[in-house]
Amino acid sequence: MFNELIDKLKNGTYITLETTPSHSPQFSPIVDKIEALELHKFVDGFSTTDNPLAKLKYNALFAAKMLQDRFDKPVIATMSMRDRNRIALQSDLLGANEFDIRAILALTGDPANISDQPHAKGVFEADSSLLLDIISCFNSGIDYAGKPLAIKPKNIHPFAVVNSYAKNPKTLQKKMQKKIKHGACGIITQPVYDLENAKQLLELKESANKECCSESKGAELILGVFPITKLRTAQFLSAHVPGINVPDNWLEALRIANEKGAEEEYKVGFELSKKLFDDLKALHPKIHLMTANQFQIAKDILI
């Protein structure tokens, strides 16, 4: 399952769909929606998020297990440094390994002070590089303290993230190099909204791989796509989310459409997003689709 996913990442067309567990003790309703729309037939795998924005959600590892069991497709489970020290990280990885949860997206995590849980404190023992290093140790049969594990874990595939935009592009290359040096096999970008931006990211990834290692051992870039169907979403991403650049022509087109009504606004936003997805797929068919669980939009984009 995972070998096939990595082969697609390196050599073929690779599309994963993000899922966000809810503030609930049940993840099955989300799985049921995916099945009802037959979305599993259009993607190579899924991902599960880990308490994004420090808001309490259902556990990403359990969610990944449920998706894998239902669809027999690999799932990249997110693990955040915000909520775990190195003991908890390793314990979670050991438990997940037996249940074949073996693709991990290593994140530093959003700050705890924006949480919906009063007085929550972030652990942040280190940034996501620590988790990548722990995975490297596990893949060598030892824990992070260097002690041999009783049984060598099944191979774990580490993923990382990077911003899609910076005023100084070289900062993005340096961040990519850091993730690659710590073992990431795939680097998922924040949402991309411009074809030239995507081309630049691919060039930066090539340079980062050359700086770190041979091309055969480098990381693949996975372009993040988040469809925008509302002006206020575009404005929020543009003004308040660092590392994302929404082009002026998108903002203007959505502004004009917004004045004509919600139906026109949705139509224009979807058309821009669908064209972007198709153009990115033609350029570099390795995409991570994020729709905030709006799975009908995901299907409309994918078909």
pLDDT at 216 over 60: no
CA neighbor of 208 nearest in space, from 221, 190, 195, 225: 221
288-300 tens-digit pLDDT: 999 999 999 999 9
Report yes or no on 278 lying in a domain: no
Can you give the residue range of the structural domain that contains 47?
A: 2-228+284-302
269-280 tens-digit pLDDT: 999 999 999 999
Report yes or no on 290 lying in a domain: yes
Report yes or no on 54 lying in a domain: yes
Average confidence (pLDDT) over 143-169: 97
Cα Rg of the chain (Å, integer): 19
CATH number assigned to the domain comprising residue 204: 3.20.20.220
Report yes or no on 106 lying in a domain: yes
Average confidence (pLDDT) over 7-17: 96
Average confidence (pLDDT) over 22-42: 98
Report yes or no on 266 lying in a domain: no
Query: Per the structure block, which two tokens stand in for 188?
Result: 């998922």
Number of domains in the chain: 1
**How far is the CA of 74 from the CAs of 1, 21, 38, 102, 267, in angstroms?**
6, 17, 16, 8, 33
Q: According to the model, what pLDDT value does residue 211 have?
A: 87
Classified as helix, coil or strand, 266 is helix
pLDDT at 119 over 80: yes
Q: According to the model, what pLDDT value does residue 217 have?
A: 73
Going 280 to 12 to 201 to 111, the CA torsion angle's sign is positive
* Bridge partners (DSSP) listed for residue 48: 19, 77
pLDDT at 148 over 70: yes
What letter does residue 126 receive in the DSSP assignment? S
pLDDT at 260 over 70: yes
Average confidence (pLDDT) over 156-164: 98
Report yes or no on 190 lying in a domain: yes
Q: According to the model, what pLDDT value does residue 71 have?
A: 98
Do residues 240 and 229 lie in contact, with contact meaning Cβ atoms separated by under 8 Å? no
Q: According to the model, what pLDDT value does residue 115 have?
A: 96
Report yes or no on 271 lying in a domain: no
Q: According to the model, what pLDDT value does residue 271 have?
A: 98
pLDDT at 212 over 90: no
**Average pLDDT along the chain:** 96
Report yes or no on 276 lying in a domain: no
66-111 tens-digit pLDDT: 999 999 999 999 999 999 999 999 999 999 999 999 999 999 999 9
Listed in sequence order, the residues at least 6 apart from 14 whose beta carbon sits closer than 8 Å to its beta carbon are 5, 8, 44, 220, 222, 285, 286, 287
pLDDT at 213 over 60: yes
Q: According to the model, what pLDDT value does residue 214 have?
A: 55
